[in-house]
Amino acid sequence: MAGLVPPLVAREIRSRHRSSALDVAWAVVNPAVTLLAYGLILTQAFGAKSEVDRT
């Protein structure tokens, strides 16, 4: 089952964004930027702190 998912995802992206390489890049960049924006906004709103440098 796990070996089936990557080819299906690749096929879905190709079929949706067949027109240009920019469309494929946008399909990757747009969710990443949205995730980054939500992460920054919610971190600031709830005052979350990273546990990386706690000494």
Residue type, position 5, single letter: V
Task: Give residues with Cβ within 8 angstroms of 17, minimum separation 6.
Answer: 23, 24, 26, 27
What is the pLDDT tens value at each position of the chain, 55 positions in all? 678 898 998 888 777 766 677 777 888 899 999 999 999 998 888 887 767 655 5
The pLDDT value given to residue 17: 62
- Residue for token pair 């949205």: 34
| Sole residue written with tokens 């998912």 | 5
| Model confidence, pTM | 0.49
The single-letter code of the amino acid at 41 is I
Is the CB of residue 16 less than 8 Å from the CB of residue 10?
A: no
Tokens of 31: 């969710």
